[in-house]
Amino acid sequence: MSEPLVAVLDLAKAYESGGERVEVLRGVGFSLEAGSSLAVTGESGSGKSTLLNLVGGLDRADGGSILVGGEEVCGLAETELSAYRNRRVGFIFQFHFLLRDFTALENVMIPGMLARQSQVALRRRAAGLLSAVGLERRANAYPLELSGGERQRVAVARALVNSPSLILADEPTGNLDERNARIVEQMLFSLVAGERTALLLVTHDRSLASLAGSVCRLEGGRLGPA
C-alpha cells in the first residue's frame, strides 16, 4: 500500500493570550492521497487558519508531524521552509493577492520565476493553466481589468503553476457572488483532480465543503466528523 501524499499526525499548537495558554490544536491528524480533497469546517476562531498555516510552513507546530511528499515539514530550517512553500505548496486565499502591475499571465508565472524555472516552459505552463480556468483571452489583462471571479481564477492557476504536492485554500470563494463562487469551485476541484494534487481547504460554506472528498469539523482543538 502506497504512502499518502500528505500525512499529519498528532499536530498541536498553543498560544499565549492574556497570560493564559490557549490550546488551539490538540492531536490533529489526517491524510490525503494524490487527487483527493479534505474540507475543514468550524466556527471562527476554532483554529482552521492555524491548521493551514502549520501545514503550509507559515508557522511552527508545538508538536506532531507533517509529511508532505515524504518531506517532514516540522524539522525544516527557515531557508528550507521557504523552498518547501514555493516547491511543494500552492496557496489560495479569500483575497486573490494579485500584483496590479503584472498581467494575468505574469501573475500566474511569479511562483515559477521565484523557483527559477525555464521562462519558455513556465510561460507555456502558465498559459495552459489560464486556458484551463477559461481565461486564455484575458492573459494580457491587468488585475484591475478583471472581474472578481476572473481574479480568483487567476489565483487558482497561480497556485498550481509549480505543480505542487498540496493546495491550501482558505475560504477561496468567500469574496465572490454565488455564481462566480460556483464557477471557481468547479474549476478548482477539476484541476486538483486532473493535476493529482491534494487539496486541504477551510471554509464556512457548506456548498463548497460538500464538493470535497471528505469533510471534517474542527472543534475544541480536535478534528472530528462534520
List pLDDT tens digits, range 106-118: 999 999 988 888 8
Q: Is residue 59 part of a domain?
A: yes
Q: Is residue 1 part of a domain?
A: no
Number of domains in the chain: 1
Which three-class secondary structure state does DSSP give residue 133? coil
**pLDDT at residue number 32:** 95
C-alpha to C-alpha distances, 120 to 90, 126, 221, nearest whole angstrom:
21, 10, 46
Q: Is residue 150 part of a domain?
A: yes
Q: Is residue 199 part of a domain?
A: yes
**pLDDT at residue number 2:** 65
Q: Is residue 63 part of a domain?
A: yes
Which residues span the domain enclosing 25?
Answer: 6-225
pLDDT tens over the chain, length 226 residues: 567 899 999 999 998 877 788 889 999 999 999 999 999 999 888 889 999 999 999 999 999 999 998 889 998 999 999 999 988 999 998 888 899 999 999 999 999 988 888 889 999 999 999 999 999 999 999 999 999 999 999 999 999 999 898 999 999 988 888 888 888 888 889 888 888 999 999 998 888 999 999 999 999 889 888 7
Q: Is residue 15 part of a domain?
A: yes
**pLDDT at residue number 11:** 95
CATH number for the domain that contains residue 123: 3.40.50.300
Q: Is residue 107 part of a domain?
A: yes
C-alpha to C-alpha distances, 94 to 15, 119, 174, 179, 181, nearest whole angstrom:
24, 29, 6, 16, 11
DSSP string, 58-119: SS--SEEEEEETTEEGGG--HHHHHHHHHHHEEEE-SS----TTS-HHHHHHHHHHHTT--H
| Cβ–Cβ < 8 Å for 125, 161 | yes
**pLDDT at residue number 175:** 85
